[in-house]
Amino acid sequence: MWIFSRKGSSGFSSSSTAEEVTQGIDGTALTAIVTGASSGIGSETARVLALRGVHVTMAVRNMAAGRDVKEAIVKEITGAKVDVMELDLCSMASIRKFTSEFNTKSLPLNLLVYSSFGAYGQSKLANILHANELAKRFKEDNVNITANSLHPGVIDTNLFRYNGIINGLTQKLGRFVFKNVQQPLSLEIIIVRALERSKEKMGLFSRKGPSGFSSSSTAEEVSHGIDGTGLTAIVTGASSGIGAETARVLALRGVHVIMAVRNMAAGRDIKDAIVKEIPGAKVDVMELDLTSMASVRQFASNFNAQGLPLNLLINNAGIMATPFMLSKDNIEVQFATNHIGHFLLTSLLLDTMKKTARGSSREGRIVNVSSYGYKFAYREGIRFDKINDQSGYSGFGAYGQSKLANILHANELAKQFKEAEVNITANSLHPGAIVTNLTRYNSILDGFIHMFGKFMFKNVQQGAATTCYVALHPQVNGISGEYFSDSNLTKANAQATNVELAKRLWDFSMDLVK
C-alpha cells in the first residue's frame, strides 16, 4: 500500500480525499457551478465546496436526486449555501435556459466545475482540449481566470449504468480495485490493488471443487492421463483463444481434431503450431462461417462425405456485444453466430454422431460453450418476436440472449437423447472471464480487460479447462443437460433451466433453419 499513499510534489497522494486536499481553505464569498452534482464525485465535490464556505449551484438533470443531495448537504453543514438548478447537457435549449436563469440572478461566478460524464474517449479528450484553448485565450486577453482539466481516477459510481457487463464488473470488483468518491484517483493504483486482491484471494481461486479441479486448473491439468486416441472432435472457432487451446490439448491427448474456422489462414497457422509442438498430432482445418447457413450446410456436407466418425462436437465459436447488424441470412448476428449456426451444425451432424456412438460403444458428447453472460439476456430471455428488431437492441442483451440459447439448446438435446435412449450427452458451460478477442466490438470493455485482465481474469489455458473437462473426463460419463463452471457442476438460473422455454427455442430455431 506504500505506492497507494506515496505523496507527490503537491503533498497529496491518490489516497487523499477531497476534504484532506481542501483542509484549512476558506471558500467564503466564492460561487461555484458544479455540473452532474446529483451523484458520485459531482455530489462529493459540491459537498466539500459547501463545507469550505463556497456558494454552490448544483446543475443537474435529475432535479429530485439533486434536491436529495442538497438536503443531505444542508443537514450536515450548518449554514451551507446550496442551490439546485436544472441542466440537461444533451440539450442546447436546456443549456441556454440554465445560463439565462443563472445570469439573471446577477450572482458572481468564480468556479465552474464540469463533473458530468457523457459519451466517452472522444468527449474526454475534448474536455482537455477545451480547457487548454480557454487557458490560451485567457492568457492572451490578460483575463484573471484559469482553465485546467483533470483525471479523477477510476471510481465505482453509476457512470457505467448504460453498460451492463462493465457495470456488473465495477459493482462486483469496484470496492477492491477502485477508489471511493472522496478520493482523487490514479490508474496505477488499480493495478496495485488488483495485485494485492489477487494475492489475498489466491486461496479461493485455487480452491478445488468436488471434481478435484478449480478455476486455476488448466486444460492440460484437467485432461492429464486421459487417452483420446480413436476419438474425433470438431471444434468451432478454433483459430484463436480458448478454441485454439482446446484444439491443441485435445490433439495432445490423441484426439483427431477438425478445426472449424472462418479464417482459414489463421486456422492453418494454429494447426502448424500444434503439429510442430505435438509430433503425430492429427489436425485438419475446414472452413465454417457460422453467420451463413449455406456455409454451415457446406461444412457438414464436406465432413460427412469424408466418412469420419464424430465423437465430440464442441460448439465454441462466438462473438460478443456487437453493434446491431444482420447475418447473411438476415438474422441478428449474435443470435445467428452463437446459437443458430451451432444449432444447424449440430442437427446436420447428429446422424454421424449417433452412428459413431452405436458403432464404437463410446459415449458421444456435445459441448456448448456458453457464458455467465447469459444472465445479461433480455428480461424475457429470448425475444422470439423481436429477434431482428433494432428498437430496444442492446449489444450485451443480445449476447446474453445467445448464451442463454446455448444452455437451453444443450438441455433440450439432452432431453431428446434420453427419451430416444441415444448414447450422446449434451452439456453447456461457462469458461470463465478470459482475455481473448471476444470483446473486440466494445472498445471500453476491451480496453478494460486487456489492461487489467492478467490480474483479474483467467488465461487461455485456464479458460479452455472446463471445455476439455466436459469433453474428455470420465467423471462426466452419463451426465447430460447440465451446466459447468471451473470444471465443476454448477447451477444455472431458473430461466436457463426452463423446460418450456427450451422447447419453444427448439421449435423457433427449427423454423429459422428450414
**Phi, psi of 459, rounded to the nearest 5 degrees:** -90, 175
pLDDT at residue 1, as a whole number: 41
pLDDT at residue 125, as a whole number: 72
| Catalytic entry in 372, 393, 441, 469 | 393
pLDDT at residue 121, as a whole number: 55
Q: Which residues contact 92 (CB under 8 A, 6 or more apart)?
A: none
CA distance 386 to 480: 31
C-beta atoms surrounding 194 within 10 Å: 18
CA distance 90 to 71: 26
**Phi, psi of 503, rounded to the nearest 5 degrees:** -70, -40
> Per the structure block, which three cell numbers stand in for 484?
459447468
What is the H or E stretch that residue 127 is in? helix 121-140
pLDDT at residue 148, as a whole number: 86
Residue 281 has pLDDT above 90, yes or no: yes
Q: Phi/psi zone of residue 192: left (φ > 0), alpha (ψ -120 to 50 degrees), beta?
A: alpha
CA distance 476 to 486: 14
| Whole-Å CA distances, 265 to 173, 271, 392, 436, 504 | 38, 10, 37, 18, 38
pLDDT at residue 158, as a whole number: 52
425, 414 in Cβ contact below 8 A?
Answer: yes
- Residue whose C-alpha cell is 462493465: 166
pLDDT at residue 313, as a whole number: 99
244, 256 in Cβ contact below 8 A?
Answer: no
Q: What is the DSSP string of 374-419?
A: GGGSBTTBS-GGGTT--TT--HHHHHHHHHHHHHHHHHHHHHHHHH
Summary count for the chain: helices (H), strands (E): 19, 12
pLDDT at residue 153, as a whole number: 56
> Mean pLDDT of all residues in the chain?
86
pLDDT, average across residues 449-459: 58
* Secondary-structure percent of the chain, ordered helix, strand, coil, rounded to 5: 50, 15, 40
Cut 0.75: pTM above it: no
> Per the structure block, which three cell numbers stand in for 57?
449551484
Tens digit of each residue's pLDDT (9 = 90 or more) over 216-255:
999 999 999 999 999 999 999 999 999 999 999 999 999 9
- Residue whose C-alpha cell is 465459436: 317
Identify the CA nearest to 215 among candidates 233, 191, 198, 235: 198
CATH architecture of 217-513: 3-Layer(aba) Sandwich (3.40)
CA distance 513 to 456: 39
Identical fold between 2-196 and 217-513: yes
Name the packing angle between helices 264-277 and 241-252 (round to 10°): 30
Alpha helices (runs of H) in 141-183, residue ranges in sequence order: 164-177
Identify the CA nearest to 443 among candidates 85, 29, 124, 56: 124
Identify the CA nearest to 411 among candidates 450, 461, 370: 370
pLDDT at residue 455, as a whole number: 44
pLDDT at residue 74, as a whole number: 96
CA distance 220 to 224: 6
Reported as a pLDDT band with limits 50, 70 and 90, residue 454 is very low
Does the annotation mark 393 as catalytic? yes
Q: Which residues contact 18 (CB under 8 A, 6 or more apart)?
A: 44, 45, 48, 182, 183, 184
**Phi, psi of 107, rounded to the nearest 5 degrees:** -80, 150
CA distance 196 to 432: 21
CA distance 350 to 243: 21
Identify the CA nearest to 66 among candidates 33, 93, 30: 33
112 strand-pairing partners: 33
440, 463 in Cβ contact below 8 A?
Answer: no
Q: Is 177 helix (H, G, I), strand (E, B) or coil?
A: helix
Angle at 208 between CA 207 and CA 209, to 5 degrees: 125
> Per the structure block, which three cell numbers stand in for 452?
487489467
CA distance 337 to 261: 12
pLDDT at residue 199, as a whole number: 43
Please give the biggest Cα pair distance in the chain. Answer: 90
C-beta atoms surrounding 21 within 10 Å: 15
pLDDT at residue 228, as a whole number: 98
Tens digit of each residue's pLDDT (9 = 90 or more) over 149-164:
876 654 444 544 445 5
Tens digit of each residue's pLDDT (9 = 90 or more) over 29-72:
999 999 999 988 888 899 999 999 999 999 999 999 999 999 99
| Whole-Å CA distances, 194 to 45, 159, 443 | 27, 21, 21
pLDDT at residue 457, as a whole number: 75
pLDDT at residue 120, as a whole number: 54
pLDDT at residue 135, as a whole number: 84
Residue 118 has pLDDT above 50, yes or no: no
Fold of 2-196: Rossmann fold (3.40.50)
Reported as a pLDDT band with limits 50, 70 and 90, residue 122 is low
CA distance 383 to 192: 42
DSSP state of 171: H
| Whole-Å CA distances, 423 to 124, 229, 362, 408 | 58, 19, 8, 20
**Phi, psi of 428, rounded to the nearest 5 degrees:** -125, 165
More confident residue, 506 or 113: 506
pLDDT at residue 70, as a whole number: 96
Tens digit of each residue's pLDDT (9 = 90 or more) over 300-316:
999 999 999 999 999 99
Residue 299 has pLDDT above 90, yes or no: yes
CA distance 322 to 334: 7
Domain boundaries, the chain: 2-196, 217-513
pLDDT at residue 117, as a whole number: 47
Residue 448 has pLDDT above 70, yes or no: no
Percent of the chain with pLDDT over 90: 69
Tens digit of each residue's pLDDT (9 = 90 or more) over 167-193:
554 554 454 444 554 544 333 334 334
CA distance 169 to 458: 15
- Residue whose C-alpha cell is 446459437: 339
